[in-house]
Amino acid sequence: MAILLASCGTTKPVGPGQYRVARGDTLTKIARDHGQSVDALIRLNKLKDGNSIQVGQVLNVKGGSASAPTARASTSGPSIAAPRSINLVWPAEGKPNRGASAPHTQGVYIAGVSGSPVKAAAAGEVMYAGNGLRGYGNMLIVKHDADFLSVYAHNQALLAKEGARVKQGQTIATMGSTGSNVVNLYFELRYGGKAVDALRYLPKRP
């Protein structure tokens, strides 16, 4: 999604449940970082044009924090554990690895065959389906509950639409290489908007 950014010089502090738009932000990224859909943010803020936000603009992000980490920054760092667990299944068949920044990457790359099924790791609602985040290609984000959501990137085709309810194990996409130079699925698990060690929650493979 193309978001037009214009400079704004306000320095008014933001409160709980609010977020100040920073340079380089998109409405898609802000929605993802705060566990919400783009449509929900548009409705919450009564935006006339969902494709135009301004640097410095304060948005209401219900249940979110005033300062959320960027997608890239939140996927790295030492291993983090969520305060509770979630029952997951593997989202795809293939060999998992941490990628070039291991062991500090929280997500997992699953190398596989182009067109093979990508499945929902747990039941939930699709809160994003698109290719608006550079480097992620065709991506889905599924919200499982108030705290957990999962990310599925580099897909060939997206088979679930935004707002759809999906079951655990349901095929929601096909594996591809969009936004990547190899065929793989990038899977990420988030708790409270922060990436946690996905391999801690996925079942052990034989």
Which DSSP string corresponds to 52-105? Answer: B--TT-EEE-TT--SSPPPHHHHTBSS----SS------SSSSEEE--TTTTSB
What CATH number does residue 92 fall under? 2.70.70.10
Q: For 188-206, b where at least 16 C-beta lie within 10 A, e where not — what string?
A: bbbbebbbbbbeebbeeee
Task: Report whether pLDDT(3) > 90.
Answer: no
**pLDDT computed for residue 195 by the predictor:** 87
Last residue of a domain, one of 42, 68, 94: 68
Asked if 23 and 10 sit in the same domain, the reply is yes
Least confident of 26-35, 86-95, 161-170: 26-35
Q: Is residue 33 one of the residues assigned to a domain?
A: yes
What CATH number does residue 28 fall under? 3.10.350.10
Q: Point out which residues pair with 19 in neighbouring strands.
A: 59
More confident residue, 12 or 184: 184
**pLDDT computed for residue 103 by the predictor:** 44
More confident residue, 6 or 48: 48
As for how many domains the chain has, the answer is 2
Q: Is residue 206 one of the residues assigned to a domain?
A: no
Asked if 3 and 42 sit in the same domain, the reply is yes
Asked if 159 and 182 sit in the same domain, the reply is yes
Q: Is residue 196 one of the residues assigned to a domain?
A: yes
pLDDT tens for each residue of 92-104: 999 888 754 444 4
Closest CA to 27 of 47, 7, 11: 47
Task: Report whether pLDDT(8) > 70.
Answer: no
Asked if 92 and 144 sit in the same domain, the reply is yes
Last residue of a domain, one of 28, 44, 68: 68
What is the 3-state composition of the chain as percent helix, strand, coil, each rounded to the nearest 5?
10, 30, 60
pLDDT tens for each residue of 133-190: 878 899 999 999 999 999 999 999 999 999 999 999 999 999 999 988 889 999 999 9
Q: Cα–Cα distance between 185 and 68 in angstroms, integer?
A: 25
Q: Cα–Cα distance between 139 and 176 in angstroms, integer?
A: 11
CB of 144 closer than 8 Å to CB of 86: yes
Asked if 26 and 101 sit in the same domain, the reply is no
Asked if 161 and 100 sit in the same domain, the reply is yes
Asked if 108 and 55 sit in the same domain, the reply is no
- Strand pairing class (138-143; 58-60): unpaired
Domain hosting residue 172, numbered range: 71-201
Asked if 83 and 183 sit in the same domain, the reply is yes
Q: Is residue 174 one of the residues assigned to a domain?
A: yes
Q: Is residue 110 one of the residues assigned to a domain?
A: yes
Last residue of a domain, one of 68, 94, 110: 68
